[in-house]
Amino acid sequence: MARLFFLAVLTVVLAFYFNSTASRHIQSTLQSYLQESQTSPQAAPSFTRKIIAVGDLHGDLPNALKVLQMAHVVDAHGNWSGEIDFFVQTGDIIDRGDDTIKLYELMEQLREQAQHSGGKVLSHLGNHEWMNAIGDWRYVYPSEIATFGSVAARQKMLSTGEIGRAWAQNYSTASRLPLHPSIGISNTDYPPAFGVEDKIKHSPLSHAAVSFVHGGLAPTYPHLTPYPSAINALSRSLLHKLQSQSPQPSPHPPNPYPGLPSDTTWEEERMYGTDGPLWYRGWALESDKEVCSSVDGVLEKTGVRRMIMGHTPDFQKIVSRCDGKIIIIDTGISHAYGGALSALSIHYTLTPADPTIGRTPVVENHGQKQVWKETEVVTAIYEDRDEVLVYNEREVEGNFAGY
């Protein structure tokens, strides 16, 4: 009995000793870790931006939803997924199908949902939106008119009604999307405004941006800069003139083609012309030699590294030209064409080359600069595969912490 009592006491004493020792050891380790974390620089976080762009939809809601789900823009219920930062649609939602109203409603729904979760939707007017605003209804199906109720109801909806107001408020003809916020928010002009010009022009990321239009930015087009505001100012002005006509011109056909309003300026007329951003097809149709010899001049003027557009379909694939400087994303998504369901993904990251770089910006006049690894991956997304079109990686120097 005495031996059992002794063993029990010894067990309690040893347990107390080792528990106390372990506790002191854990506490000491925690204190050392906290002191070290306070004195050691924290690693600067990587910056990442995810963009999805989709081309012409032409009145086909089911196929549009398939594409948006495929690219993780929306979830299984058709709501904003929160998995991307920007969704860009390059125009031609209207014509050749019956789902016009539903598609524009979807875009406005996604715009609102994206805003609430920190994302953004960038919408563009294609040549078919403009044709309908003018009264050129050659590609409007009678069954689509029936979804509005009547010709008059459709005219009202596209001018002063819900769709027309969305065009005026939320749609542009051109966009410039910086890949990193140090060079501005979406649609920051290039060349930059006076006062920030030197900072942005001398940044290694000055052209780390992408342009989006429906047709293309022709080298001969006279209003490329400042980009995109010069084009969008003309776009807003002409759209206002078209939507303000009362009564709206009788649609063609069966009536004569109404043309542009009588007070249209030559700049507005040129914007809607064959080498304007809505109709230009040169980047898609001209030879590689012609295209690749002139693309750099347009990229330099507009402050971007690549141009993305729809309008000219390839029913098999997204077309990349000149090492991804030109990407054409119209693949005939609508059942009217029976083309490939596709979306374009741009995944941009900026990561400290040295993981011990601190969050505190380096003082430039000390001659110190942070080195960052910039990576951009451009991928064509299809139903049955993904195809990497561009993989660019380089090191840049600058103060990009805190974004």
Interval 262-306: pLDDT, tens: 999 999 999 999 999 999 999 999 999 999 999 999 999 999 999
- Say which residue, 95 or 23, is predicted with more confidence: 95
Three-state secondary structure call for residue 246: coil
Q: Which CATH number belongs to the domain containing residue 57 in this structure? A: 3.60.21.10
Q: Which amino acid is at 203?
A: S
Establish if 131 belongs to a structural domain: yes
* pLDDT greater than 50 at residue 4: no
Using the CB atoms, write b or e for 3-17: b if 16+ within 10 Å. eeeeeeeeeeeeeee
Q: Tell me, what's the pLDDT at 213?
A: 99
* pLDDT greater than 60 at residue 95: yes
How confident is the model over 217-233, as pLDDT tens digits? 999 999 999 999 999 99
Cα distance between residue 227 and residue 175, in whole Å: 8
What's the total number of domains in the chain?
1
Q: Which domain holds residue 224?
A: 48-397
Structure token pair of residue 228? 């995109």
Mean pLDDT estimate for the chain: 90
Establish if 350 belongs to a structural domain: yes
Q: Tell me, what's the pLDDT at 220?
A: 98
Structure token pair of residue 152? 């008059």
Residue range 245-268: mean pLDDT, rounded: 98
Q: Tell me, what's the pLDDT at 202?
A: 76
Q: Tell me, what's the pLDDT at 15?
A: 45
- Say which residue, 36 or 112, is predicted with more confidence: 112
Q: Would strands 171-172 and 371-382 be described as parallel, antiparallel, or unpaired?
A: unpaired
Establish if 336 belongs to a structural domain: yes
Establish if 38 belongs to a structural domain: no
| Cα torsion 391, 69, 119, 176: sign | positive
Cα distance between residue 186 and residue 178, in whole Å: 6
Establish if 34 belongs to a structural domain: no
Q: What are the C-alpha distances in Å from 140 to residues 100, 160, 246, 255? A: 10, 19, 21, 14
Establish if 403 belongs to a structural domain: no
* pLDDT greater than 80 at residue 20: no
Establish if 22 belongs to a structural domain: no
What's the alpha-carbon Rg for the chain, to the nearest Å? 28
How confident is the model over 58-74, as pLDDT tens digits? 999 999 999 999 999 99
How confident is the model over 168-210, as pLDDT tens digits? 999 999 999 999 999 999 999 999 875 555 567 678 999 999 9
How confident is the model over 323-377, as pLDDT tens digits? 999 999 999 999 999 999 999 999 999 999 987 655 444 444 344 679 999 999 9
Residue range 223-248: mean pLDDT, rounded: 99
Q: Tell me, what's the pLDDT at 40?
A: 44
Residue range 36-59: mean pLDDT, rounded: 78
Establish if 361 belongs to a structural domain: yes
